Amino acid sequence: MNTRTNSNSKYILTVALLAALILVASAAGAAATAYRVAQGDSLFLIARRYGVTVGAIRTANGLVSDMIYPGQILTIPNQASSNPPNWQSGATYTIRSGDSLFLVAQRYGVTVSSLKAANGLQSDWIYPGQVLTIPSKGSVPPNSGGGGGLPSGGAWNQSDVRLLAQLVTAEAGGEPYEGQVAVAATVLNRVNSHLYPNTISGVVFQVIDGRYYQFSPVLDGRIHNTPSSTALDATTRALNGWDPSYGALGFYNPSKTSNYWVRSRTITRVIGDHVFFK
């Protein structure tokens, strides 16, 4: 009788230990996943694939930029840890070297415009050691113009995104990633300016006096080519508030144009072969 009881006790204990080990293994698997970067990947695409934020992946891997390379092994945090545990209304964040408003906004799941409004910022310039107030998600206002934000009222659809990505592919397919985002942001800046049409398609297809096309790919038909995955990613980044053009309303390649008017405008950035201007 005692022998049987001891055997049952050992069996129950063994089952309990196995169950505990399975739970620990499951928790460890849920806590992080290893992912090998493939050709054409970006942090944005990987984050979307796993349902986490770009900021969470950057934090989990100690990245100071969005640059990744094929073959690199990334740790993917679970969704529960994607947002900082101390995220709340009135939370603060101290700027570190390599940060930008866009990256901070991504990390906390808010918009650049709401960060600027919460901290009284007039531009996207920040500096290491600066303390920012993080607004609550419920208080995030819609983007309302400038800075590469969303079209007025946030009204855009998949056709708008695809069209903008097609333009980015045609105009900046060989440019650095930041330059592709800047081209998309420039179009959005026009959408938000009273000087231009207030829709993405209106800006892209604008023709002045029936003969002055604003974008050469519209004139030569390249606007209809299939957008690249990188251009789609860059377009999404611009729609989410990143404006590396610094508010530009246009851009040009100085080796391909001698137009006096564009060359007389105020330059905001030079990225790759493109000069961005207001």
pLDDT at 142: 40
Which superfamily does 152-277 belong to? Answer: Cell wall hydrolase SleB, domain 1 (1.10.10.2520)
Cβ partners under 8 Å of residue 208, min gap 6 = 214
Quote the pLDDT of residue 51.
77
Q: Boundaries of CATH 1.10.10.2520 in the chain? A: 152-277
Distance CA(31)–CA(214), nearest Å, equals 49
CATH architecture of 2-81: Roll (3.10)
List residues bridging with 76 in a β-sheet. Answer: 33
Query: Under a CB-based contact definition with an 8 Å cutoff, are residues 164 and 200 in contact?
Result: yes
CATH 3.10.350.10 boundaries in the chain:
2-81, 91-139
CA separation for the pair 57, 54 (Å, rounded): 5
Amino acid at 156: W
What is the tens place of the pLDDT at every residue in 61-86?
A: 877 667 788 888 888 887 655 544 44
User: Average per-residue pLDDT in the chain?
Assistant: 76
Which of 241, 243, 245 minimizes the C-alpha distance to 266? 245
- Contact between 202 and 124 (Cβ < 8 Å): no
Reported as a single tens digit per residue, the pLDDT across 101-145 is 777 777 777 777 778 778 777 777 777 778 888 887 654 444 333
Q: What is the CA radius of gyration of the chain?
A: 24
Domain 91-139: which topology? Membrane-bound Lytic Murein Transglycosylase D; Chain A (3.10.350)
Q: How far is CA 96 from CA 64, 86, 106, 194, in A?
A: 9, 18, 15, 36
Under DSSP, the state recorded for 192 is T
Per 3-state DSSP, what percentage of the chain is helix, strand, and coil (rounded to 5)? 45, 10, 40
